[in-house]
Amino acid sequence: MSARIEPVRPPFTAALEETFERIMPPGAPPLALFATLARDDRLWARFRGGALLDKGHLTLRQREIVIDRTTARAGSEYEWGVHVTFFADRAGLDAAMQYSLVHGQADDPCWHDSDRPLIRASDQLFASCTLDDAGWAQLTAAVGEMGAMEVILLAGFYRTVSTLTNALRLPLEPLAAHFPARRAV
């Protein structure tokens, strides 16, 4: 299946080249998602304005658990693979955790007790766009109120990103991880 919208191709404008250089690792080409959104200056600017990859109220590990679980639940192998490739090692997310984020549950033995509220919150937000009182209490106990608000924003933003990558049929990035195959039980 091919992408539905062609990404911008080099040569890029000076401003776009500068933006890509700021957000990509040195020497890496822009992700297909970025190059596709950059076809429209307004959409590209609004998308970048919603990003939450800066130092916020969550640790890198907490942020990536929410992003990876949300993108996995949404079936966005594209976005899940990009995040696992760029951040899993630094976030301490090993192969068992990566598998669990795609196929498992918050109670899987690979998770620390402090990780479980993030996975449960991601699942609740994905399923119903809200948190029940128990989920809210567990999440705020784990990350505080501002951290909980950031989890909600991350889950919503990455559900939108997943919708974009899936609906636009973006091809997987060549170096990005793939969903782990489901193991026989």
Q: What is the pLDDT of residue 47?
A: 86
Residues 23 and 67 in one domain: no
Residues 29 and 94 in one domain: no
Rounded to the nearest integer, the mean pLDDT of the chain is 94
**pLDDT tens column, 25-62:** 898 999 999 999 999 999 898 888 877 667 789 999 99
Q: What is the pLDDT of residue 53?
A: 66
Note whether 83 and 175 are within 8 A (CB). no
Residues 35 and 109 in one domain: no
Residues 31 and 66 in one domain: no
Position 80 in a domain: yes
Residues 73 and 162 in one domain: yes
Q: What is the pLDDT of residue 48?
A: 86
Position 1 in a domain: no
Residues 125 and 153 in one domain: yes
CATH code for the domain of 94: 1.20.1290.10
Q: What is the pLDDT of residue 52?
A: 67
Residues 120 and 34 in one domain: no
Report CA 6 to chain centroid distance, whole Å: 22
Residues 68 and 139 in one domain: yes
**pLDDT tens column, 122-165:** 999 999 999 999 999 999 999 999 999 999 999 999 999 999 99
Q: What DSSP string runs through 42-78?
A: HHHHHHHHT---SS-SS-HHHHHHHHHHHHHHTT-HH
Number of domains in the chain: 2
Domain boundaries, position 134: 60-167
Count CA atoms closer than 13 A to 117's CA, side-chain side: 21
Q: What is the pLDDT of residue 144?
A: 97
Segment holding 155, helix H or strand E: helix 133-167
Global pTM?
0.91
Distance CA 151, CA 143 (A): 9
Residues 93 and 146 in one domain: yes
Position 144 in a domain: yes
Position 107 in a domain: yes
Residues 75 and 163 in one domain: yes
Position 140 in a domain: yes
Distance CA 149, CA 139 (A): 10
Position 179 in a domain: no
**pLDDT tens column, 67-103:** 999 999 999 999 999 999 999 999 999 999 999 999 9
